[in-house]
């Protein structure tokens, strides 16, 4: 059986490229995220090509770029460079969150050359704004600080679902009110619609092109246990899905990564990996409708 059951997987005229990145050298606590791409691909052989509402995604035109097994973040940067082109919606399956560092660099370099303003929407329990973590500038706790180093403006990085802070991050945020943080408590108190309206108003102009980086620990641990740094008080899986699909529908999103899924820490039924697939299929449907 082939991965992505029933889907057209060819490179020519593809709407979406999907690439697994088997890498978790940037993880701090729980490991195992390097296994996510292969587990998710394997499960995809069984999932019928329909959304939760029964809408077909059979004509998505997916280019299945298989899995890369890099030995460093530079290696990821080189091996994914050619995937960033004008009309392609890239999906990357991590890997721990450090894989987003080279991906967001490639994204930035490509879109700056097209005179667009790159935006990161970071959906995560954690801000990932550490300068150093575990003695490294390239830990999974650092991607947003590295994006800031790269040239992303702080007003063009938006954090969603945050509820676990490091001291260095709190101090940084006090100095930079232009960085918008939607804490998990805000979302739980106000719902997702009010937040989505603000974000869509902010980034809907043609000037912007958006990278959505999705750490599965954004979801409450009662929905997703298979991740290295679970954090209580998160959104439920349907709320997170609505956030992702609404942003993809309304904004010019060109890259989407899903990181920090750890099959070795998951329950026996691979619930976190199944969630990734179900989320992807809803995303694919939105892309078909938008085409
Ligand atoms: Mn996280």
Q: How far is the CA of 160 from the centre of ligand 1 (A)?
A: 11
pLDDT, tens digit, 9 for 90 and up, residues 248-268: 999 999 999 999 999 999 999
Q: How far is the CA of 253 from the centre of ligand 1 (A)?
A: 21
Confidence (pLDDT) at 31: 85
Confidence (pLDDT) at 26: 85
Domain 16-290: CATH superfamily is Ureohydrolase domain (3.40.800.10)
Confidence (pLDDT) at 150: 98
Q: How far is the CA of 115 from the centre of ligand 1 (A)?
A: 31
- Which phi and psi (to 5°) does residue 219 adopt? -70, 145
Asked if residues 67 and 37 have their Cβ atoms less than 8 Å apart, the reply is: yes
For the chain, which residues make up each domain, given as ranges? Answer: 16-290
DSSP 35-46: GHHHHHHHHTTT
With a cut of 70, list the residues of the chain below it in pLDDT.
none
Q: Which residues contact 100 (CB under 8 A, 6 or more apart)?
A: 94, 143, 213, 257, 259
- Which phi and psi (to 5°) does residue 285 adopt? -65, -45
Counted residue by residue, the chain has a size of: 291
Q: How far is the CA of 21 from the centre of ligand 1 (A)?
A: 17
- Taking alpha carbons only, the member of 115, 113, 116, 19 closest to residue 70 is 19
Strand 253-259 relative to strand 89-93: parallel, antiparallel, unpaired? parallel
Confidence (pLDDT) at 10: 87
Confidence (pLDDT) at 14: 94
pLDDT, tens digit, 9 for 90 and up, residues 10-23: 899 999 999 999 99
Confidence (pLDDT) at 1: 85
Q: How far is the CA of 126 from the centre of ligand 1 (A)?
A: 4
Confidence (pLDDT) at 220: 98
- Report the C-alpha gap between 130 and 202 in whole angstroms: 25
pTM comes to 0.98
| Number of helical H runs and strand E runs in the chain | 9, 8
Q: How far is the CA of 127 from the centre of ligand 1 (A)?
A: 7
Q: How far is the CA of 96 from the centre of ligand 1 (A)?
A: 9
């Amino acid at each position: 059986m082939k991965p992505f059951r029933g889907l057209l997987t060819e490179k020519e005229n593809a709407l979406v490229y999907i690439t697994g990145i088997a890498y978790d050298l940037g993880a701090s606590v729980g490991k195992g995220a390097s296994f996510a791409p292969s587990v998710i691909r394997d499960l995809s052989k069984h999932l019928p090509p329909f959304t939760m509402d029964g809408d077909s995604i059979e004509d998505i035109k997916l280019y299945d770029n298989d899995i890369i097994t890099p030995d460093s973040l530079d290696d990821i940067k080189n091996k994914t460079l050619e995937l960033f082109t004008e009309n392609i919606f890239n999906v990357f399956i991590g890997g721990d969150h450090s894989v987003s560092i080279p991906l967001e660099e490639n994204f930035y370099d490509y879109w700056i050359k097209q005179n667009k303003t790159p935006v990161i929407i970071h959906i995560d329990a954690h801000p990932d704004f550490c300068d150093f973590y575990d003695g490294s500038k390239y830990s999974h706790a650092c991607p947003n600080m590295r994006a800031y180093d790269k040239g992303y403006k702080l007003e063009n990085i938006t954090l969603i679902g945050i509820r676990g802070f490091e001291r260095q991050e709190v101090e940084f945020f006090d100095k930079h009110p232009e960085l918008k943080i939607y804490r998990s408590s805000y979302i739980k108190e106000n719902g997702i619609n009010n937040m989505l309206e603000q974000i869509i108003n902010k980034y809907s102009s043609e000037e912007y092109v958006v990278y959505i980086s999705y750490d599965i620990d954004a979801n409450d641990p009662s929905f997703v246990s298979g991740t290295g740094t679970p954090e209580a008080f998160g959104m439920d899986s349907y709320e997170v899905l609505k956030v992702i699909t609404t942003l993809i529908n309304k904004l010019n999103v060109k890259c989407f990564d899903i990181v920090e899924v750890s099959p070795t820490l998951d329950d026996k039924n691979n619930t976190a990996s199944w969630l990734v697939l179900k989320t992807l299929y809803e995303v694919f449907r939105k892309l078909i409708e938008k085409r």
